[in-house]
Amino acid sequence: MRKLALTAAAAVFACSAAFASGPQGFNQAAVPGGPQGFNNQAPNTVAGVLANAYDDQIVTLQGRLTNFLGDDRYEFTDQAGDRIEVELDDDQNWNHISRDQLITIVGKVDKDLLSTTIEVKQAAPVQQ
């Protein structure tokens, strides 16, 4: 009976030591302080969004609003000259940004079968 108790105690100690150190085999350098082993790098160019972004992904882009497309839709052009349609929700006040001003936008990708757009959640002028 004593051997069984010692074996059980050793097994519990070994399991608790393994769990205390966290999961093994993950690269912690990718996201310091976050979960290990995930590549959370979102595209930061229009070309990257069009090629690699997935639906509902949050992205941050830098560029300019260059054309009004109607309703709350605008054309956004990044510094490489690539263009994408963005939606500025008319429930928000966007008068702090203007046409052809260098801005940073944060938005959610809306990827459909034939189109990709960005629903802008925040926009701010770039401090130069």
**Whole-model pTM over 0.75:** no
pLDDT at 22 over 90: no
User: Under CATH, which number does the domain 46-125 receive?
Assistant: 2.40.50.200
Residue spans per domain, the chain: 1-41, 46-125
pLDDT at 14 over 80: no
Phi-psi region at 33: left, alpha or beta (left = phi > 0; alpha = psi -120 to 50): left
Rounded to an integer, the average pLDDT of 48-63 is 94
